[in-house]
Chain A
Amino acid sequence: MIYVKLFLEFLWVGAFTFGGGYGSIPLIRDVVLRNNWLTDETFSYMIAVSESTPGPVMVNLATYVGSSQGGLLGAVLATTAAVLPAFAIILLLMAVLKNAMKNPAVKATLGGMQPCAVGIILATGIWMTVKNWFPAGTVDLRAVVIALVLGGIILWGKKLFKKKVSALQLILISAVLGILLYGF
């Protein structure tokens, strides 16, 4: 049953999302690819949409995947499941386990998971970039150019524009580059 499946999958996602919203991207990608719910391509479009609309990225992705698989009910179930662990853990820590976060064993366990989450996020980003350079065994130089331009803007944008470039602005720039390089 799709509704139960959606709920359980996103419960796991919610429980293991570390490192803010970006921590959820590798986990949700894993879920949608394993279940054949979305292609990698549609999923990366959805990340862009999630970045360009208000609200946490994890919530936006959960809603989209839920809606694509089970309509409105699917969207509500996936989103609720994704949020539930964060909600329950904060309540538990505030109401019952007030000192749990100071417990050295808990700290050590979380201390192991945090760098792991960062490694997973980096690897996912690298893979999602490089994969586009070699579509179906060929080399797409235009994708390489787009990645290099964006990388340059991230590295030197602060000096160039005297302001940090936001994710939303990077998406807009890559959209313009896409139109320029792949044609109107």
Chain B
Amino acid sequence: MLLELFLTFAKIGLFTFGGGYAMIAVVEDTCVGQKKWITHEEMMELIVLAESTPGPIAINCATYVGYKEKGVWGAIAATVGMVLPSLAIIYAISMFLNRFLEIGIIANAFRGIKVGVGVIIINAGVKLLKDVPKQGLPRVILLCALAAMLLINVFALDFSTVWLLVTAGVAGFAAYRVKGGAGK
């Protein structure tokens, strides 16, 4: 059973490109449809959990299904299975990437890719915009984070991104406490 969890998630890890949301469909298909490890309702609960907790959705899925099926060891087997293929592939690539980049035509291709990566990240951010509640506070936090992060980059400030997130979390909590006093 542990081996089956490991192998199933290794297969998902090996054949899922683009991570995240592309993966949810594959997990649903495999774990709900074929293997019947979790129910459809549990899958819904899992998506909500994965979206509101840190870390890649793929990892959250593996841990959740592994634990449901076989406890802590199941969670470990599934998560390691999920990570191992990428680790092996990237490790192999890392050994020859630099030599690969010395080839002229490849270097030019990567000059284009360098610009493309920025655009792809903007695109990912724009897609996430629709998840931001249309209320005052989230919008203010979003704009402040955007402005702060741009300033940090433009002026090469030594300010960790983690602290931006912590500050935003504290702001969310503080707003809740202020409102909560009147509400209850």
Q: How many residues of A contact B (CB 8 A)?
A: 103
The residues in B between 103 and 133 inclusive whose CB is less than 8 angstroms from any CB of A are 104-105, 108-126, 128-129, 131-133
A119 and B146 CA atoms in complex are apart in Å by 4
| Min C-beta distance of A83 to chain B, whole Å | 5
Chain B contacts to A: CB under 8 angstroms: 13-21, 23, 48-60, 63-64, 67-68, 72, 75, 79, 82-83, 85-87, 89-91, 93-95, 97, 101, 104-105, 108-126, 128-129, 131-133, 137-139, 141-150, 153-154, 158, 160-162, 164-165, 167-173, 175-177, 180
| Chain A hits for B126, CB < 8 A | 122
Which one, A12, A171, A183, contacts B117 given CB within 8 A?
Answer: A171
Query: Quick one: given A119-B143, A174-B115, are A56 and B59 in contact (CB under 8 Å)?
Result: yes
Say what secondary structure dominates the interface of chain A: helix
The answer to whether A123 touches B153, judged by C-beta atoms less than 8 angstroms apart, is yes
Contacts A86-B60, A101-B52, A132-B114 given; indicate if A45 touches B97 (C-beta within 8 A). Answer: yes
Q: Contact at B91–A113, with CB atoms within 8 Å?
A: no
Cβ contact within 8 Å between A101 and B49? yes
Interface of B is mostly: helix
Q: Which of B16, B131, B138, B180 has the most chain A CB atoms closer than 10 A to its own CB?
A: B138
- Whether A104 contacts B125 by the Cβ 8 Å rule is no
CB distance from B143 to the nearest CB of A (A): 7
The contact of A176 among B72, B83, B112, B133, by CB within 8 Å, is: B112
Q: Is the CB of B121 within 8 A of A89?
A: no
Known contacts: A41-B114, A116-B164. The answer to whether A125 contacts B121 by CB under 8 A is yes
Contacts of B21 in A (CB 8 A): 20
- Most chain-A Cβ atoms within 10 A of its Cβ — which of B119, B139, B147? B119
Residues of A within 8 A of B171 (CB): 112
| CB-defined contacts of B55 to chain A, threshold 8 Å | 14, 17, 58, 82-83, 85-87, 89
Q: Are B141 and A171 in contact (CB under 8 A)?
A: no
- Whether A178 contacts B108 by the Cβ 8 Å rule is yes
Known contacts A108-B175, A109-B169, A125-B121; decide if A143 and B115 are in contact (CB<8 Å): yes
